[in-house]
Amino acid sequence: MKMGKWRADGQAFLFLLPFLVVYVLFTIFPMIKGVEMSFYKWTLIRKMDYLGSGNYERMFQDQEFWASIWHSTIFVLITTPTMLVLAMVLALIANRNSRLQRFYRSVFFIPSILSVAVASFLGLFVFQPYTGLLNSMLHWLGLLAEGAEIFWLTETHLAWIAISLLTLWWTVGFNFILYLSALQDTPDEVYEAARLDGASDSQLFWRITLPLLSPITRTITMLQIIASFKVFVQIYVMTGGGPLDQTRPVIQLIWQTGFRKNDLGYAAAMSYMLFAILLVLSALQYWMNNRKEAN
Amino acid sequence: MKWFYRIFSLCMGLLFLFPLIWMLVVSVKKEGMKIITVVDWFTPPYSLAVYHEIITGTKLLHWSWNSFFIAVCVTVLTLVIAAMSAFAVSKIPFRYRTFMFFFILAGLLIPGEAILIPLYQVAKDLDILNSYQGLILPALASPFAIIILKSFFDGIPNELLESIQMDGGGVWRIFTSIMLPLTRPALVSIAILTFIGSWNNFLWPFMSVTDDNLFTLPMGIPTLMNQYTEDYVKPMVINTVASLPIMVLFLIFERQIIKGVSLSGIKG
């Protein structure tokens, strides 16, 4: 667009102003404020003593903190590969030419629109021992002996399985849609040509579908790693971070430190560690995407 | 083999639907019935008494309204703010344009979760804890929306804008009568993603609000649930009341929502 230099500056400023106000006030400024807070003993009420790097030194020796980082990592390790496989399988199901195409698309996506609290409580009630849906189901099918119970939410390994299953059910819809739209972008001619050459179904999948999906797979992988690392609500509702804090993720620890133990300064320091980890993951994603474009 | 695929697909579909069906059926069951096997969840007697009790006796509907109101405000304001900035960065030749672009881009790297603790302090200093402003304002700066919209604005030819200028149209007219209408699909997609994001936002309301008149659904539901641990009817009524409106919205706008979500893949 053509306009005078001063006029352009003035107009741009007016158009950018609303964004700059909220962006600086609620994103940039807290970023900087957090640095200050992390160097102090800082409670919910007020700023107290200057600690220097005290909060950070404490963090590096804090077993609880590293355990929570590890728990978030476990969650990433479980949910990322399972999410990819499930999303792809569901997309393949919904992409088949059948009268039920629309039904499948709605059904696989609909859990994703539930409020996080609703989904988490559904998870809680499904996996509850004695009265939960899953155990009653297993009893009824005769897969679980009478009188026997599986304690999904109070045994660490089972708790991870329950939390992950709930998360897959609740969030796979988004990734499913990404795969589905990638599948639908693939021209049918590609498959027809391969079929004429006598390719079997499994060859079509491994040689054509999977390679064509690899850019979106990379995108989903990175988005999922970052999203899973930020897990909190499902765990908070279903296990409360238990048993014995064995499933407590890092965001829950940050929240507890700040708001339950009244130590915002230390919580801010932990937040920076979380920030650093997420930054490395984002950088990795950026690097992988650029490599993808370079190829 | 074909039949195997079909049955497998159908099983997956039912598996996804089953918890929701369970939720709906249990919610209309009469309270206090003994559940011996899984079949008992689904058999009569039914009753809507608990719906009445929950709707009149709790603040659930008010919280639904809060969630909805906040999500609408956040969506509309985010769109306006993001579109204006994207327009400036895309089409107005001002100095520091490149710098501004990277300044916005940097925001993509700042995860909201990592700045919540200082954000709490900032909101406290501004005295907006426990208020609608406090719930809405921090959610408005969306670098993601700006970057996406900019890429759509970039595709609109400058000649078109200049022809409006020739006719004596100002910058604001160009923005409202060309840029916005021509990028409607992108705007709708971003609106949908923003709405879903706000609807599901848990952490910030959870930290910044203590007044239960300002609760949103995600944080109101846990406080209600803690009172009911024995019987499943009340919790399922709560879940259903909280979910039905959004499910109806989904079924109405399904096509646009699906399109909006596929756009989020660009984020990567």
d(CA B25, CA B20): 9
The reply to whether B156 touches chain A by the CB within 8 Å rule is no
Distance, CA of B268 to CA of B266 (rounded, Å): 5
Mean pLDDT for chain B overall: 86
Report H helices in chain B: 2-27, 49-57, 60-91, 97-106, 116-125, 132-136, 143-154, 158-166, 171-174, 180-182, 184-200, 203-208, 217-225, 233-252, 254-263
Q: Assess if residue B130 is contained within a domain.
A: yes
What 3-state class would DSSP assign to A152?
coil
Query: Above pLDDT 70, what percent of chain B?
Result: 97
Surface of B (45-104) touching A: CB under 8 A: 67, 80-82, 84-85, 87-89, 91-95, 97, 100, 104
Please give the share of chain A, as a percent, with pLDDT higher than 70.
98
- What does the DSSP 8-state code read for residue B215? -
What residues are paired with B46 via a beta bridge?
B29
Distance from C-alpha of A169 to C-alpha of A234, rounded to nearest angstrom: 12
Q: How many CB atoms lie within 10 A of CB B245?
A: 15
Record: contact B202-A233, CB cut-off 8 A: yes
A285: distance to nearest CA of chain B, Å?
7
Mean pLDDT throughout B151-158? 89
Quote the number of domains for chain B.
1
pLDDT tens for residues B39-61? 777 777 777 777 888 888 888 88
Size of interface A-B (CB pairs under 8 A): 271
What is the rounded distance in angstroms from the CA atom of residue A118 to the CA atom of residue A17?
38
Q: Taking CB atoms and an 8 Å limit, are A139 and B117 in contact across chains?
A: no
As a whole number of angstroms, the distance between CA B243 and CA B217 comes to 10
A224 CB neighbour count, 10 Å cutoff: 21
Chain B hits for A144, CB-CB cut-off 8 Å, are: none
Q: Which residues of A touch B78 (CB under 8 A)?
A: none
Residues A27-41 have pLDDT tens digits of 999 988 888 888 888
- Within 8 A of A223 by CB-CB distance, chain B residues are 267-268
Chain center to CA of B220: 16
Instruction: For chain A, say whether B166 makes contact (Cβ under 8 Å).
Output: no
Question: What is the per-residue pLDDT across B104-130, written as a single tens digit (0 to 9) for each?
Answer: 988 887 888 888 888 998 999 899 988
- Residue B7 with chain A: CB contacts under 8 Å: none
Chain B partners within 8 Å of A11 (Cβ):
88, 92, 94, 171
**Is B218 within the bounds of a domain?**
yes
Helix (H) or strand (E) holding B130: none
Contact A292, A213 (CB under 8 A): no
Structural contact between residues A133 and B19, judged by C-beta atoms closer than 8 angstroms: yes
In a domain, B11, yes or no: no
Most confident of A97-111, A161-175, B95-109: A161-175
Helix, strand or coil for residue B49? helix
Give the nearest chain B residue to A115 (CA atoms). B200
Residue B42 within any structural domain of the chain: no
Q: Which residue has the tokens 């179904």?
A: A201
Say whether A33 and B35 touch across the interface (CB within 8 A): no
Q: How far from the centroid of its chain's Cα atoms is residue B13's Cα?
A: 25
- Give the closest of A30, A42, A258 to B115, CB-based: A30
Domain enclosing residue B106, as ranges: 59-267
> Would you say residue B162 has pLDDT above 50?
yes
pTM for the whole thing?
0.85
Identify each DSSP E strand in A240-285 by its residue range.
none
Angle of the A264-294 helix axis to the B116-125 helix axis, nearest 10: 120
Question: Does B233 map to a domain?
Answer: yes
Cβ partners under 8 Å of residue A19, min gap 6: B81, B82, B84, B85, B104, B141, B146
- Is B16 exposed, middle or buried (CB count within 10 Å of its CB: 0-12, 13-18, 19+)? buried
pLDDT 10s digits, A76-124: 999 999 999 999 999 988 888 677 888 888 899 999 888 888 899 898 8
Pairing of strands A47-50, A40-42: antiparallel
User: What is the predicted ipTM?
Assistant: 0.85
User: How much is the pLDDT for A59?
Assistant: 84
Task: Choose the weakest-confidence range: A76-85, B17-26, B75-84.
Answer: B17-26
Q: How far apart are the first and last CA of chain A?
A: 35
Say what the alpha-carbon torsion angle B234, B235, B237, B238 is, to the nearest 10 degrees.
Answer: 120
Nearest-by-CA chain B residue for A32: B118
Do the chains contact at A89 and B12, CB–CB below 8 Å? yes
Partner residue opposite B239 with nearest CB, options A30, A122, A222: A122
DSSP state of A42: E
Confidence of residue B228 (pLDDT cuts 50, 70, 90): low
B188 in contact with A, Cβ within 8 Å: no
What pLDDT band is residue B229 in, cutting at 50, 70 and 90? low
Label residue B268 by pLDDT band (50, 70, 90): very low
Inter-chain contact A219–B146, Cβ cutoff 8 Å? no
The answer to whether position B23 is within a domain reads no
More confident residue, A121 or A187: A121
Residue with tokens 């404490």: A58
Q: How far apart are CA A177 and CA B48, in angstroms?
A: 36
Q: What is the CATH number of the domain that holds B260?
A: 1.10.3720.10
- Which tokens go with B69? 């109101």
Please report, for residues A264, A272, B50, the alpha-carbon distance to residue A36 in angstroms, rounded to integers and kept in the order given: 11, 12, 51
Mean pLDDT of B220-224: 84
Residues of chain B with C-beta less than 8 angstroms from the C-beta of A108: 12-13, 16
Q: Which residue has the tokens 């009265």?
A: A131
> Would you kindly state where each structural domain of chain A is located, as residue ranges?
70-249
pLDDT the model gives residue A294: 55
Q: Can you say whether residue A262 is alpha, beta or left, with left for phi > 0 and alpha for psi between -120 and 50 degrees?
A: left
Nearest residue to B41 (alpha-carbon basis) of B33, B51, B53, B52: B33
Closest CA–CA distance from residue A218 to any residue of chain B (Å): 8
**Structure tokens that stand for A84 in this block:** 């990819």
**Mean pLDDT score, B168-196:** 87
Nearest-angstrom CA–CA distance, B243 and B234:
14
The answer to the question of residue B170 being in a domain is yes
- Whether the pLDDT of residue B80 is over 50: the answer is yes
* Cβ-based neighbours of A232, under 8 Å, separated by 6 or more: A249, A251, A252, A255, B202, B203
In the predicted model, is pLDDT for residue B179 greater than 70? yes
User: B16 to chain A, minimum CA–CA distance in Å?
Assistant: 6
Number of CB atoms found within 10 A of residue A153's CB: 21
Q: Is the dihedral of CA A215, A221, A227, A229 positive or negative?
A: negative
Torsion (CA) B108, A115, A86, A216 in degrees, nearest 10: -20
Q: Which helix (H) or strand (E) holds A114?
A: none
- Give the model's confidence band at B230: pLDDT under 50 very low, under 70 low, under 90 confident, else very high: low
B225 at A interface, C-beta within 8 A: yes
Structure tokens at B111: 């995860």
Task: Write down the residue that tokens 């719930």 correspond to.
Answer: B135
Give yes or no for B105 touching A (CB within 8 A): no
CATH homologous superfamily of A70-249 equals MetI-like (1.10.3720.10)
CA distance B60 to B38: 28
Give the whole-angstrom CA distance, residue A79 versus residue A224: 8
